[in-house]
Structure 1
Amino acid sequence: MRFSRLEVLGWALLCALVAACSHHASSGASQPLDTGEHQQVINGVRLYYRVAGEAPRQQAPVLFLHGGPGYNSYSFARLMGARLEKGQRMVYLDQRGCGRSERPWDNTYSLEVLLRDLEALRQELDVERWVLMGHSTGATLALEYAARYPERVVGVVYVSGMSDAAFSFATWKQELERQHPGRIAVTDPAGTSSDYAQVMKALRGLDAQAFFNRLQFHDAVYLQQQEAVDLESGLRNTGELSRTLFATELTQYRFTQPERVTAPVLVIGGRYDSSIGLPSLKALAASLPRATFLEYEKSGHFPYLEEADRFEKDVKGFLASLR
């Protein structure tokens, strides 16, 4: 079959148009680090993360890791995120089984698998290095990641994290004795259980949630603000991640590789945080090669809520020093 020169020219033009449209569609497709909400199957589980803020592409993004265990990223993003997003690209992740991320069908939860999730997410985002910012058990996870993958970490913001479970549970026990004198002696007369087990036994028949709220909040006004944000989010802690980690790892947890963390670390702790214990945070900072410790004199477990202006200033200053 023979084609006229006009027909050949028409086919060539059509092919060019198809190629141009295909290229346009590809270039306009959402990329993993584009601002907005994302849901991707990562390490076998559909994870939710949101990217916000503007920064040069060569600038390392900041990954925020929530605590709980089993909480979500909405609260921090709502209370502090907008402040930090000015000049910084933030990534807010809901860990597996948390917030808007999928609950794994096989109930696979462990610190090890959470670390693998983070590394798989880094690869999905196609970033060489990033900054990790963690609160509570999210800070614990950030520190473990920094020790496992030091070449991938530019810096760490460690807020109210647990690095020595025995120390933190001793603080719980001390606070329980202060609030309910003699309670532990009644519920565990032999005194042979661990501090964690003694506290959990003593809390039976008491308002456990009220006790833990008092461990974390020095001023009830901030508890009310936190609860309002939680209600606004519509999200809840299913308890799956928390139950599994406390049943398997967290009750005996202690961070043992400070020398592996080569990146600068900003350690922030509230003076009235009885869920962690300020001396524990000071000891961690002293053990790390390049750490700075900041005590927040008016805060409990949530410095970014209780002293928001100072938190914003301190964290922005730290992030600027990493560039």
Structure 2
Amino acid sequence: MKKLLLFLVFLSLGYTASAEEKFITTSDGVELFVKIEGTGIPCLYIHGGPGSGSYWFEKFFGDFMEEHFTMIYLDQRGVGRSGSSENGDYSMQRLTQDFEEVRESLGIKNWLTLGHSFGGLLQMGYAENYPQAQNGMMMINATLHLNESFCQSWAPKASEFLGENYVGCKNDTLPLMERMGVLGNKLREKDLFWKMAYANKENQAIMDSTWNEVENWNFDLGNKVWAYEDYWRNFKPNTKEVSIPVLFFYGTKDYMVGPDHYKEVQFPDMILWKSEVGHIPFQENTEDLKKAILFYKNQLSVLNHN
């Protein structure tokens, strides 16, 4: 009975269905764009990119999420509609502190997080720095080790699409970021970049068209984050220490992160969900993603009732 009451209290932390947009100023003076909409368990969306913002996920998948969760859409510092850091701090510690300050500002005791792509690294950093803040994590096509994603999937697959052979990171004459730039430029020149993330070229065009829907997009985070060592850590060994329930959703055609990236992920309480999809499942094959999230939510309900 006690656990049931706690679960009902947790559900009551949700907001009303009416949307609320606001700016929350961090302790170091950065204005963060936040939108709250939906009902039910609070869930923070941690976007990837780095620098993709929360707008895409809300636009293409928000209606479903808001039926089941109180969604908190956040543009991270230096991204989208949020401001930039005057002292240039885009560290893992500072971004996860931003999450905490948003949570406290909204009066939420604890919440779920849903991270996409690069957002998986931030979820792991958040779990490490603030272990009591998250009641669970949904990781959607998330990388937990950038080097592995690039060296074992991104670069080899990009080279394959270009009709080239990739010698591997250990034998590469160029640094990783420089090689990524070279391959990325070639893919764009040949109009092949869409193959890295999508099953259909038209879907990338639809996604790209949404850039014009937000004026004065802030790109600072995406330009500066690569210099921080924390984002290059291998977080896979850390997964065995994270005891909260985790949905780890991966795509068999996701070449940005890698279709085999799920291997060596060791969350003790994990739902591993394989899907025939690329990197953007909230735009392509959305029904499977919905099934995975609803299954995860139902499992949370069972856990809190027992």
Contact 1:53 1:90 in 2 (8 A): yes
Aligned position for 1:242: 222
Instruction: Give the secondary-structure state (helix, strand or coil) at the position aligned to 1:86.
Output: helix
Q: Residues 117-144 of structure 1: CA distance to partner in whole angstroms, max 9, x if unpaired?
A: 1111111122221000011112221232
Per the TM alignment, residue 166 of structure 1 is displaced from its structure 2 partner at its CA by 1.9
1:313 aligns with one of 275, 291, 294? 291
> Is residue 147–residue 258 contact of structure 1 (8 Å, CA) maintained in 2?
no
Residue 128 of structure 2 is aligned with which of 147, 153, 166?
A: 147
Deviation, 1:293, is 1.3
Residue identity matched to 2:99: L
- Where structure 1 has 5 or more consecutive residues not aligned to the other structure, the ranges are 1-31
CA deviations over 1:34-59 (Å, ceiling 9, x no partner): 7410111123211110110123xxxx
Does 2:84 correspond to 1:103?
Answer: yes
Amino acid in the other structure paired with 1:247: A
Cα distance, 1:115 vs structure 2: 0.8
| 8 Å Cα contact 1:156/1:266 also seen in 2 | yes
Relative distance call for 1:113 and 1:208 in structure 2 (3 A) is farther
CA distance change for structure 1 residues 109 and 212 in 2, over 3 Å: closer, same or farther? farther
CA displacement 1:135-160 (0-9 Å, x = unmatched): 11122212321233232211100011
1:304 paired residue number = 282
Correspondence for 1:172 among 138, 141, 154: 154
Q: Distance in 2 between matches of 1:212 and 1:249?
A: 27
- Return 5+ residue gaps in structure 2 as ranges: 1-13, 302-306
TM-score, length basis structure 2: 0.82
- Kept in 1: contact 2:184–2:193 (CA 8 A): no
What CA deviation, in whole Å up to 9, does each residue of 1:234-258 have, x standing for no partner?
A: 46352x2122222333773311421
How does 1:286-301 map onto structure 2 within 5 Å?
A: 287-297=266-276, 299-301=277-279
What's the C-alpha RMSD, in Å, of the aligned pairs? Answer: 2.6
What's the counterpart of residue 234 of structure 2? 254
Indicate if the aligned counterparts of 2:93 and 2:129 stay in contact, CA closer than 8 A.
no
Matching of residues 257-272 of structure 1 within 5 Å: 257-272=238-253
Matches within 5 A, 1:116-265: 116-170=97-151, 171-182=153-164, 191-202=172-183, 207=188, 210=191, 212-234=193-215, 236=217, 238=219, 240-249=220-229, 252-255=232-235, 256-265=237-246
- Counterpart Cα distance in 1 of 2:104 and 2:209: 35
Which of structures 1 and 2 has the bigger CA Rg?
A: 1
Number of the residue aligned with 1:51: 36
Distance 1:203 1:301, change over 3 A: closer
Instruction: Please give the secondary structure, in 1, of the residue aligned with 2:282.
Output: helix
TM-score by length of 1: 0.78
1:178-216 Cα offsets, whole Å, 9 max, x none, are: 12344767xx9x734455443434556663795543211
Paired AA for residue 117 in structure 2: S
**Which position in structure 2 is the counterpart of 1:40?**
24
What per-residue deviation string (whole Å, max 9, x for no partner) do you get for residues 73-121 of structure 1? Answer: 1111111111121142111111111111111222221212101111111
SS of residue paired to 1:90: strand
Deviation at 1:283, TM superposition (A): 3.0
Q: % of aligned pairs identical? A: 26
Distance 1:173 1:263 in 2: 33
Question: What amino acid is aligned across from residue 48 of structure 1 in structure 2?
Answer: F
Distance in 2, matches of 1:145 and 1:197, equals 29
* Residue type at the aligned position of 1:305: Q
Distance 1:304 1:70, change over 3 A: same
| Residues 38 and 48, structure 1, Cα contact 8 Å, conserved in 2 | yes
User: Deviations for 1:6-30, whole angstroms, at most 9, x for unmatched residues?
Assistant: xxxxxxxxxxxxxxxxxxxxxxxxx
Amino acid at match of 1:49: V
